[in-house]
Structure 1
Amino acid sequence: MSTTAFTTAITQARDLLRWRSPLRTELWAARLTATLRPEEVQPLIRRLTEDGSQEARLTLAALATVETAALEAVETAALDDVEPVPLNDEAERAAGQAIAREPGGDKTLRETLREAGTEAARGLPEWVGRMGQVVCEQAWYGKADRYGEQTLAALRFRYPDDKEPHILIVGIDQVNGGLAVDATVEEPKFLDDLDLRPADPAVVAGRVLDAFEMTDLVMGAPIAESLPAVRPLALARAQAVPDPVRQAPDDTLSRFLDLPDLPGAQEAFGKLVEFVGDRPLWWSPARVSRFLTSWLPREAILTDAAVSAMPEVVRAWSRFHGAEPEVLRQIEADAPHLPALMADESLAGLRKRMAQNDR
Structure 2
Amino acid sequence: MASLLVTGGAGFIGSNFVAHWTATHPEDRVTVLDLLTYAGNRANLDGMRAELVVGDIRDEALVAELVDSRDVDTLVHFAAESHVDRSIVGPDAFIETNVLGTHALLKVARKKWAGTGRPHRFHHVSTDEVYGTLGPNDPAFSEETPYAPNSPYSASKAASDHLVRAYHHTYGLHTTTSNCSNNYGPFHFPEKLIPLFIINALHGRNLPIYGDGMQVRDWLHVEDHCRGIAAVLKHGRVGETYNIGGGAELPNIRVIDTLCAAVDSAFAANPALAQRFPDAPAAKGLPTSTLKTFVADRPGHDRRYAIDCRKAMTELGYSPKHSFESGFAQTLGWYLDHESWWRGILDGSYLEWVETNYGNRQTAA
TM-score in same-fold range (> 0.5):
no
Which structure carries more helix by proportion?
1
Which structure carries more strand by proportion?
2
Higher RCO (CA 8 Å, separation ≥ 6 residues) = 2
Give the TM-score, by structure 1 length.
0.29
Q: Computing the radius of gyration over CA atoms, which structure comes out larger, 1 or 2? A: 1
Give the TM-score, by structure 2 length.
0.28
